[in-house]
Structure 1
Amino acid sequence: MADAAKGTYRASRWSLNGMTALVTGGTRGIGHAIVEDLCGFGATVHTCSRNQAELDKCLTEWRSKGFLVSGSVCDVSSQPHREKFIQEVTSIFNGKLNIYVNNVGVNYRKPTIEYTAEVYSQIMAVNLDSAYHLCQLAYPLLKASGMGSIVFISSIAGVVSLGTGSVYAACKAATNQLTKYLACEWAKDNIRSNCVVPATTNTPLVEHNITDRLFLLMGIGE
């Protein structure tokens, strides 16, 4: 009886029934797990991917589990794509958004002197520019909900040197500071801003670098 009561309390404590959530890059890795957890707690979720086939596959699997989830094809590094994406989210959620998880990210590991201007710009566009501009676009929806929450998926690479690439590390350090700034600026609008800073996580982004348990223990990755 005690275990049953505890389980009932936990389900009630963490219920997200009636909440709306947006997760970028939700078809793989950490983003995929976040979508499943949010749906599992009762939220209605919208996500995105650049790959239509991958998105359709995930949506089919999620809906077979009874999850309330939808998705869009979107390249978050493109401002026109971002604007269209948030227009779709606005329509689907009737102008209100409770949770925005900025998860999408990309990385190319190179010595600093080997990064070209094009690769630098690509990493910055996906990891930092998209987060900044999507927050701007999502702000009215988060404010309208009356209790908005932004969660950034950062990395310990933004805090200490881990050999993951200087451009990626710079993006994540900027993300950490952006989190703090929005937490202060948008508190008056009942919008919380928090940042999760994981170490190595076995996702498609890093799996080709995870060769053995020792590598994992060293904490090299995102």
Structure 2
Amino acid sequence: MDLSSVFSLNGKVALITGASKGIGLGIAEIFAAAGARVVISSRKQDALDEVANQLRAKGYEATGVACNVGNMNELPGLVEKTVEIYGGLDILVNNAASNPVFGPVHETSLEAFDKIMNVNVKAAFELCRLCFPHLRKSSHASVINISSIGGISPEQGLGIYSVSKAALISLTKVFAKEWGDAKIRVNAICPGLIQTKFSEALWSNEKIMEMIIKQLAIKRAGTSEEIGAMALFLASSASSYTTGGVFTADGGFTI
């Protein structure tokens, strides 16, 4: 058995949101190394061009397409551009996320609530809808939603963010159940504390980090590459009988 082919993404086209840095970039680089042609998206084209150039310098095929996923009117253009560039779509990774608040849930404004829900849930829903006609043409279609351990059990100070990630887990299961006949697999990854700019409010706070580390079986923060490796499993034929799954990568936090 040739295990290299099991994890290969040769010829596949992957669209990854929130991919100019952090977890999204980690996923993009691993997908590209596995042979995928990747479209990385975030809000700023300059940042995307810089990252895409870095990936191409390594011999990978990558294109940056700017899109604010919180603006539903921009999403059709993102999907259309991806298909226009590469001729199809096999993998969608809904990674873009927003959390403009940290503190007691009752202090969250309606404006912040709407922003969190738009980016973390509504955008993932709409991108799935828009990508469906293209994904169903693929012989190995996979959707990966990046949730959070907060979606399994609410995290202190991240109340509505946790609610949004719980909704994303439920959305994952709904799409997985309904899209099985179309041969589209849909799974979710729930990272724990990953050392990225997005989670800097946590890992840069010595008191919070000390409290978190005490609860971990693996006594450290995770890396974007570790989430990327799990995403590769879910994108590849290695997980061909896996759908509706919710996978934690949290150093044992949820044990």
Matches within 5 A, 1:55-134: 55-94=48-87, 96-107=88-99, 108-134=101-127
Give the 3 Å change call, closer, same or farther, for CA 32–215 of structure 1 in structure 2.
farther
For residue 176 of structure 2, what is the aligned residue in structure 1?
183
- 2:137 counterpart SS class: helix
Q: Under a length normalisation based on structure 1, what TM-score does the superposition of the two structures give? A: 0.90
RMSD: 2.0
Runs of 4 or more, structure 1, over 4 Å off, are: 218-222
User: Displacement, 1:92?
Assistant: 1.6
Answering whether residue 193 of structure 2 is matched by residue 197 of structure 1, we say no
Distance 1:67 1:215 in 2: 40
Distance 2:37 2:155 in 1: 36
Q: Under a length normalisation based on structure 2, what TM-score does the superposition of the two structures give? A: 0.79
Answering whether residue 147 of structure 2 is matched by residue 154 of structure 1, we say yes
- 1:145 counterpart SS class: coil
Would you say the 8 A contact 1:47–1:70 is kept in 2?
yes
Tell me the percent identity. Answer: 34
Distance 1:36 1:11 in 2: 17
Higher relative contact order (CA 8 A, sep 6+): 2
User: Displacement, 1:160?
Assistant: 0.9
Would you say the 8 A contact 1:146–1:189 is kept in 2?
no
Q: Any gaps of 5 or more consecutive residues in structure 2? A: 223-249, 251-255
Distance 1:169 1:186 in 2: 26
For residue 156 of structure 2, what is the aligned residue in structure 1?
163
- 2:64 counterpart SS class: strand
Q: Any gaps of 5 or more consecutive residues in structure 1? A: 1-7
Would you say the 8 A contact 2:12–2:90 is kept in 1?
yes
Answering whether residue 19 of structure 2 is matched by residue 26 of structure 1, we say yes
Equivalent pairs, count = 214
User: Displacement, 1:206?
Assistant: 0.9
Distance 2:192 2:157 in 1: 11
User: Displacement, 1:146?
Assistant: 3.0
Distance 2:83 2:54 in 1: 24
* Letter matched to residue 152 of structure 2: V
Matches within 5 A, 1:134-153: 134-153=127-146
Answering whether residue 206 of structure 2 is matched by residue 214 of structure 1, we say no
Would you say the 8 A contact 2:105–2:157 is kept in 1?
no
User: Displacement, 1:12?
Assistant: 3.0
